[in-house]
Amino acid sequence: MSYLPPDPSRPAPAVEPFDPRPQFYIRLSPPWVTRTLLAINVAVFVAMIAAGFLLYNTFNGSEDMRILVLFGAKVNELIALGQTWRLFTAMFLHIGVFHLLFNLYALNALGPLVEGYFGHVRFLAIYLIAGLFGSLASYAFSPVPSAGASGAIFGLAGATTVYFLRYRENFGARGRAILQNMLLIIGINLVFGLTAPGIDNWGHVGGLVGGALVAFGLLPRYAAPAVILPGSQPLQEETRTFHYALWVTVCIVVLVLGVEFATRARHLAP
């Protein structure tokens, strides 16, 4: 191996001056839970296809109402009879491959963002509770059987909006751009849901409101490190475990009361 000395005729490369001022950043969580949810949705879809073939000799199991009911789709009459678990299982079912692919794309786009800033546990709480709020709104206001992760994904959109609304000044132009884009995406999808047939817009609205509500109480709070050094340093997040647990409990209580109210209203309806 030979070594060539530098050519003295060439100017030396510019050296970036060292900035002694402290610069803070937020340490992001890797999207492990997002990837797990993606895998679960795909696995359930494959299981529906297999069940359709084995039970009814059809490759269209994900669109067969018998398979959808068997796997736990939201069916109002069955929920009113006590099968409230369908509000949960419906979040992991998809009606057709395009429905699945669209929701996988949206989850893969929003999931790492929300999980990165909120962390694994709070992200999962937002996703699941938002999905339940979506199922509840659909149960209360839409008579049509439904399924899909859309309510939970709209919840992630609501959580992203809440986060960047709170910290829009800290993130500067990038944060404001994310906030504006998210509001635009939410508006377009809600309008599309109102005009296109076969879309459970109540589930979308419920998930959006639920995700924003949960995220509001689970927002991280940051503080400068105890020892500030020159250069880049991660911000420290305040520990608020009791506050977060209490907020999640309140949201679950609201869900339970909402299911009870919707079921009673359904029983009292003529």
Residues 130/155, Cβ–Cβ less than 8 Å: yes
Range of the domain at 158: 23-268
Structural domain total, the chain: 1
CATH, residue 127: 1.20.1540.10
Residue 198 covered by a domain: yes
Model confidence pLDDT, tens digit, residues 221-265: 998 887 777 778 888 899 999 999 999 999 999 999 999 999 999
Whole-model pTM: value is 0.90
Residues 187/146, Cβ–Cβ less than 8 Å: no
Residues 167/221, Cβ–Cβ less than 8 Å: no
Residue 45 covered by a domain: yes
Q: Which amino acid is at 190?
A: L
Residue 12 covered by a domain: no
Q: Which two tokens stand for residue 165?
A: 């609304």
CB atoms within 10 A of CB 76: 19
Residue 13 covered by a domain: no
Model confidence pLDDT, tens digit, residues 142-201: 999 999 999 999 999 999 999 999 998 888 888 888 899 999 999 998 898 888 778 899
Considering only residues 40 and 197, tell me which one the structure prediction assigns the higher pLDDT: 40
Residue 223 covered by a domain: yes
Active site residues: 150, 204
Report residue 22's pLDDT band, with 50, 70 and 90 as the boundaries: low
Residue 51 covered by a domain: yes
Phi/psi at 202 (nearest 5 deg)?
-65, -40
Does position 1 have pLDDT exceeding 50, yes or no? no
Phi/psi at 232 (nearest 5 deg)?
-85, 140
SS3 77: helix
Give residue 2's pLDDT.
38
Phi/psi at 212 (nearest 5 deg)?
-65, -40
Residue 16 covered by a domain: no
Give residue 86's pLDDT.
98
Distance, C-alpha 142 to centroid of its chain? 22
How does strand 236-237 pair with strand 222-223?
antiparallel
Distance, C-alpha 115 to centroid of its chain? 8
Residue 167 covered by a domain: yes
